[in-house]
């Protein structure tokens, strides 16, 4: 069993920055891949970024590439999403997720076994 708790969301003006955190507990954090997804009102949940367990590989949606950075600190059992140059279209609830078993298809929501409760990010124009 894994528990994930996101934090760091809020209201920011366009062009600003936020850093989301996701604290994990319950299993050996360093052994599983982590991802960030988001869901805007009336839209489906979409992939944002992912990072492998070994920290050797990162993946980004085209819409955030060059603006967002995913990282992890295995000593703190935490994964981060640094979001820069935010746009109003980045407004959504952001979820972190843990992939304990697959290690494949990091952009697919079905890959992930555990999800956090989400944190709201609102970007004003």
Least confident of 8-12, 28-32, 45-49: 28-32
Name the strand (E) or helix (H) holding 78: strand 78-83
- Pairwise CA distance, residues 125 & 119, whole Å: 20
Q: Give yes or no for residue 55 having a pLDDT over 70.
A: no
Quickly tell me which residue has 């360093």 as its tokens: 30
Structure-token pair, residue 65: 């590439």
- Pairwise CA distance, residues 84 & 56, whole Å: 22
Give one DSSP letter per residue of 94-115, joined into a string.
Answer: EEEEEESS--S-TT-GGG-SEE
59 forms beta bridges with 50
User: Is-contact 36 46, C-beta < 8 A?
Assistant: no
Quickly tell me which residue has 């949606």 as its tokens: 61
pLDDT in tens, 67-105: 999 999 988 999 999 999 999 999 999 999 999 888 889
Q: What is the pLDDT of residue 103?
A: 81
Q: What is the pLDDT of residue 37?
A: 98
């Amino acid at each position: 069993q894994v528990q994930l708790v996101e934090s760091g969301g809020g209201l920011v003006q366009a062009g600003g920055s936020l850093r989301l955190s996701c604290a994990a507990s319950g299993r050996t954090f360093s052994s599983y891949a982590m991802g960030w997804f988001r869901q805007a009102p009336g839209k489906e949940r979409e992939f944002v970024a992912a990072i492998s367990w070994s920290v050797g590989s990162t993946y980004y949606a085209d819409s955030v590439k060059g603006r967002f950075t995913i990282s992890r600190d295995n000593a703190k059992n935490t994964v981060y999403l640094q979001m820069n140059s935010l746009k109003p279209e980045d407004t959504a609830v952001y979820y972190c997720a843990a992939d304990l078993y697959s290690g494949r298809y990091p952009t697919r929501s079905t890959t992930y076994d555990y999800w956090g409760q989400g944190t709201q990010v609102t970007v004003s124009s």
